[in-house]
Structure formats: structure tokens, C-alpha cells
Amino acid sequence: MQYKNLIIKTLFYIFVVYCSSKAFAQKQHFDLAHLEQPIDLDGQLLEPHWQDATRIPLIYQNEPNEKGSPPVKTDAYLYEDGSHLYVAFMAYDDNPENIRAALRDRDTLWTDDNVALMIDTFNDERTGYEFYVNPLGAQGDMRMTDTDGWSEDPSWDAIWDSAGQITDQGYVVEMRIPFTALRFPKNKADMTWSIALWRNFPRDVMYQLSNVGFDRDVKCSFCQFDKITGFNAMEPSKNIQLTPTLTALRHDIKDAVPGDWQSGDIDAEAGLDLRWGISQDAVVNATINPDFSQVEADSLELDVNTTYSIYYAEKRPFFLDGASYFKSSLFELLYTRTIAEPEVGAKITGKTDAHSYAFMYADDENTSILLPTNQGSGFANLAEKSKSAVGRYQYDIGEQGTIGVTTTHREADNYHNTVFSLDGSYWFNQSDSVLYQVANSDSKNSQYLVENYGLESQQSDHAFEVEFSREKRDYKLLASYEDIGKDYRTDLGYQAQVDYKKVTLGGGQSWYLDANEMVTEYSYNVDWDKTWAQDGSLLEEEYEGYVFLKGQMQSFLEVGFVHRNENYYNNFYNQNIGYIWGGFNPSKDITLNLYTEFGSKIDYSNEQLGDLFTLEPELTWDINDHWQVQLEHSYSRLNNPQGDNVFTANLTDLRIYYKFNMRSMLKLILQFEDIDRNENAYYYAVDKINRDYGSQLVYSYKINAQTLFYLGYSDKGYQDDSLKNIERDQRTFFTKLSYAWQL
């Protein structure tokens, strides 16, 4: 009898596993309608042929509940006419007065109600596109990859059209996406794309709805998308985009402060960008005399009491198009902000079947080099022109695996840096995967670098990293090992620390509750890491952990602790740091966040252990559909072991936006940094007063991501012990006009 019961239980278990696997494998399959009729893009769905489009209802709730029932009804409609993909959403809402939306600049709608189209055009379940629209028609778009977990790149911008309108029943959105904005396999009789339609429904909690019911035990997302087949009537296109650009600016300075302004000359320059889709899956980009000025100021970060260079995100269109084709598994071998002032640039990116490829060339009038150690990093400027080239090839293996090679080369007179790398990923199953990368660099340093920075004339070294992860519904595990050589350098990439070996072990567990509970999700995570220099000496050992909660009012709270024993120039410092990070939406128009950190921290300037306190509040307030205010402040205080203050730092970043309509906006940015140093607490001479000020006022008119007009003013100033007040010493008047011609 026991054997009989055991056999029945075993057969039942096999049946359950089989049914579960079949449930995951069973995806909805849709046929895309072909209708040779356009639409008036007005967010109303008045055209009768929308009734003949392919209807896809959003039948699942994926957040907070897994495969739950949606709290509201949503229907999506799709069709193509040979040149465009048309998408419409009927987003029903019993209480439309609670809809969260405002006039937004591009890629700033993430806290609003919004709907989205997510497509994997190559159907390789690795890369794809996301197109978001809020109820008033504001756009957001991203490229994403899913080779080892979902990763999004919001810096990618396409040219497409959208409209939205709030109604008595909810809201309606229309999208018109030209096929020239997408990359896909060469034209076939029929193509199948992976597809997910999405709705973000922010109320007391953030609901996420889709036609796909995602299984949290499966690490990949694309592999769970539904499929849609069609696209057999695509019309041939030249797919050429020319974007002439005209910029003009006048830069004034003061030779001495206080003092009089020295007016600069008006510098007017014309440039040209070319984007040519030589096929549906390959694109050539070229630029001549580009305008790479930063139209919007970077967000400030406190650079006090840190030994590593600050990282800034790329914003320039030439570098953003096709940027994902250059990315490798673990190392950032191409950090395009290192190419500061190119006169010409060209690149080709594409994918054919399982083969992805990318190549880029650019020169640079201003050559900066990141020089890393295991104690810190800084930049050296060669003050000469350089030439740069980057190439990458990647081959898709199996369902999710990849293998790729990357090489970068940068050279100037008596200087070069070359890197060669092999990387990839392998999936053992839907939860377990491994990433790996190995690289070697070879550098020839100019006499300037040898004499001023103490470098050897020749440098060559290696870098290696492997990372294993398991991600399940209720827990995750991570193990990694890094080995970065002392003389390893990626002058076109970003590697801020070298000369170390590091092992990391970590994991966590999660629990999910109902959407109506006060706490809807909670989890914890712990990890341990240990780092040695290449000579075997200990650099750091660290234990850290945190508890994380999500709840009503879209609230979140993370409480964490870090214990770190760190070697800084042959002295060890035991640091114990606690932190609290949280936020919530007290109303649909206000978002509040707060981060605070406290405990013992190294005073890197004076090589001693100090007592640190940091407070960083953030406020976003949509006053109405037109006005928005964003305020960020950072307060940091460090005391020495005797209890004396070493420094007190304040940084404020205020941004005020007024949207006349969806295309026209006025933006004011005010930034202020104030570092008050205690001169008696330093072992060397410092200024007590260290203040920096910057402001920017910009009017912008954007028809799309490439057709736009800017008119603006910016200035900068500072104060040290020699000045009684903040004195402006730089100001710039600028304008920019560009227009994208699509042929």
C-alpha cells in the first residue's frame, strides 16, 4: 500500500510539473491586421476601421499580485498599413478624476498613468523596444535587453507620434510608429514578434496590467511575451534621415573677480547628422561638426570626501542611437562621455539572425583619460587631438545565451590605449545563469603622462569577472569574482578602480501580500564581499544587509546596515554605517523621498576615521498640468574623532518647468553647492568657504526628438576665502535649431 501511495504521489507531482511547464509554454498568439487606412492622431478612436484592428485585452495583473485580476478594464488595438504600426488603448476607469497625468517633457511620465507597447522585433527574446504614452499624449521610449535580467535604457529616442485624451470613461491613447524607427529582420513573407501591452495604474499602490501573466519563478521576461504574426506588407523605404543643425553661442568670462565681463565672440556653427537604414536590420550613423553641447545641466553630486571620479550619463543623440549594440556583459568598455569634442564621427550597428555587430569611429579635440588605482581615480588631460575606434560582435547561443568580442582603440601623438575583450552569458535554466568577461589592455603613455602622473611608458594588464545568479519568486542568490590588474586601463570606457581581486556572496528573500494590505511586499537582502590588492594585501571586507517594504500610498522603506573594514593607504578603518531610504505619494500630485545615512566614515583628506551624517530630501510637485517643481537637497556633515567638525556640505538643485503645451516648455535650473571646511581640522591649507553657483534658463520647442529649437542662458560663479560674495565668472547665451528630414 505504501508503494502504491508513493507511486500515485509521484505521478501526481509529475503531472503538476508538466501542467505548470505547459502553462508557461502556452502563449497567446495574435494575427496582426493589415488595413491600408491612416488615422487622425487625436486620441479619440473615431475612425470606424479601428473595429477591424487586432484586439488584445489586458487580462492580467502582475503587480502587486502575480497573475491577478485587473482592477480596471483595458483593451489594446493594433494594425499596420505597410509603413506604420498603429496602436490604440481604451483605458477604462470608474473614477477618471483620479487619473494622474500632466503635460510632460519626453521620458518624464513614469509616475503618471500610462500605457505601453513592448515589442521584440527580432523575436530572439533578448532585446526590444518600449513605447509609453500618458493620458495627455506625452511620450517615453526605451531600448531594453533581457540577457541576464531586464535592463532598460531610457536615453534612446525614436521619432514617432502619439496623442491622448481623458474621457468620462477613462482615457484613450493613440500611437503611430513608423517602421523606420525600428530594426527587424530582412523582409519575409510573414514575421513573428514578441509582444506585451502594458498599463501602469498608480493609485494607493502601483498596479501593473498586461496581456501577459508573468511567472516570477522565471528570470527572463521576453521569453514569456505573447506572439504576434504579420508585417508581410511592409513597403520598401530609403530610410534616410538628415538632420542639419545650426548652433550659435556667445561665452563671456571675467579675467578677475570681482571684475568686468569680457564679451566673447559669437560662435556660429553648422553641423549635419546622417542616419541611414541600409537595411531593416542595419543602420549607419555619421556626424560632421556636431553640436555636442549639454542643453540641460547635469544633476549635481557632492564630490566632497570621495576618491573616485563622478559618473555622468550620456545625453547626445549621435552616441545614443544603437548604443546597446556596444554593451558587453560586465565591463563598461565604451563610456562615450570620454569623447568630448569630436569634429567627425561615424558608426554602423545592426543584427542579422543571431549575429549582432557594431563599429564606431570618432576624433576628439579634447582628450581626457581616467587614471584609476585601488585607492581612487582622477582625470588627466592630454591637451591634444585623438582618434578613437570601437568594434563589437555578438553571437546568440541557444534560447538566452550570448558570446561576444569587443575591441577599443584610442591614439594620439606618442600615446595609445587598446583593449580586447571576450564576454558572454549562459543560462542553465529559466532561473540560473552565469555572466563572464575577460579583457586585456595595452597602453603606450606619452612623455607628458610619464612625467606628470608617474606612469610607465608601457602598460599592459588583464581584467576578469564571472557572476552566477539564481532568481526565483521568493529568493535570489548571487556569487561573483573579479580580478582587475594594476595596469589595466580602458581609456574609452569607465573603470574607476583597478589593482584588486574581489569575491562577493549574497542573497535575499521576498514575500508578496495582497494589494489591499498595509504592506504589499517585504524582503531582505544580505551580502559579504572581500577585496585584496594584486600583491595579496587586504583592501576591504564588507558585510551589509537591508530590509525593504512596499505599501499603500505607493510607499517604500529600506533600512540597511553596512560594516566595512577598509584599507586606506596601509591603515585599516572599521566603519559602521546605517541608512534609511523611503518615500511615498501623499497625494497624486506630490512625491516625497528621503535618504539619510549615519555612522563612522573615513575622512579621506586627513586619513582618519570620522563621524558622518547625511540627509537627502527630494520633492516633486505637479502644481497643475503646466507647472512642475523638482527640488533636491543634500546635507552632509563629518566630524573628526575629537568631535570637531571637519566640513559641512550643502547642495541644492531646483528645477522649475512650465509647459505651454506638449511641444513648448520653459525650464529654470538653479544649482548651489556650499562646503564649509574647518581649517583647523585639516593637515594642509584649505579654504573655509567653498561655494559654487550655476543657473540655466532654457526655452525649448520640440516637434520630436531631433526636430527642435532651444534658446537659453546659463552662468556660473564661485566664492572662496578671497571673496566677500559669490561672484559670477562665466555666462553663455546660446541657441540651437535642428530639423530631421526623413526621406
Look at residue 9 and give its three-state secondary structure: helix
pTM of the model: 0.87
The pLDDT value given to residue 742? 81
With beta carbons less than 8 A apart as the criterion, state whether 490 and 519 touch: no
Say whether pLDDT at 3 is over 50: no
Please tell me the least confidently modeled range out of 279-288, 491-500, 650-659, 699-708: 279-288
Higher pLDDT, 300 or 215: 215
Mean pLDDT of the chain: 90
- Rounded to whole angstroms, the Cα distance separating 640 from 642 reads 5
With beta carbons less than 8 A apart as the criterion, state whether 332 and 338 touch: no
C-alpha cell read off for 740: 530631421
- Rounded to whole angstroms, the Cα distance separating 451 from 108 reads 47
Which spans in 149-284 are helix H? none
Of 610, 696, 618, the residue nearest 651 (C-alpha): 618
What's the alpha-carbon Rg for the chain, to the nearest Å? 27
- Rounded to whole angstroms, the Cα distance separating 175 from 81 reads 13
AA letter at 350: G
Mean pLDDT of 447-465: 94
Fold of 27-230: Immunoglobulin-like (2.60.40)
- Rounded to whole angstroms, the Cα distance separating 525 from 544 reads 8
Domains of the chain: which residue ranges?
27-230, 306-498
- Rounded to whole angstroms, the Cα distance separating 433 from 429 reads 7
DSSP class of residue 15 equals H
Say whether pLDDT at 297 is over 70: no
Strands (E), 324-412: 344-352, 355-364, 368-372, 377-381, 386-397, 401-412
Say whether pLDDT at 392 is over 70: yes
- Rounded to whole angstroms, the Cα distance separating 109 from 658 reads 15
With beta carbons less than 8 A apart as the criterion, state whether 623 and 647 touch: no
Residue environment code for 59-96, b if the CB has 16+ CB neighbours within 10 A, otherwise e: bbbbbbbeebebebbbebbbbbbebbbbbbbbbbbeeb
Banded model confidence at residue 298, pLDDT cuts 50, 70, 90: low
- Rounded to whole angstroms, the Cα distance separating 726 from 340 reads 29
Q: Determine what percent of the chain is predicted with pLDDT higher than 70.
A: 93
Say whether pLDDT at 674 is over 60: yes
Mean pLDDT of 647-664: 96
Of 151, 152, 150, 149, the residue nearest 141 (C-alpha): 152
Task: Write out the DSSP string of 22-45.
Answer: HHHH---EEEPEE-------SSS-
How many Cα neighbours within 13 Å face the side chain of 737?
A: 5
Banded model confidence at residue 430, pLDDT cuts 50, 70, 90: confident
Mean pLDDT of 51-75: 95
The pLDDT value given to residue 291? 63
Mean pLDDT of 9-36: 60
Say whether pLDDT at 11 is over 50: no
Say whether pLDDT at 9 is over 60: no
Higher pLDDT, 537 or 153: 537
Residue 739 — φ and ψ, nearest 5°?
A: -140, 125
DSSP class of residue 126 equals S
Of 56, 48, 46, 126, the residue nearest 87 (C-alpha): 56
Say whether pLDDT at 299 is over 80: no
Contacts 24+ apart (CB under 8 A), 420-425: 421/328, 421/331, 421/333, 421/463, 423/328, 423/329, 423/330, 423/331, 424/329, 424/397, 425/147, 425/148, 425/329, 425/400, 425/401
Q: Give 136's contacts (C-beta < 8 A, 6+ positions apart).
A: 101, 102, 103, 104, 164, 165, 166, 625, 662
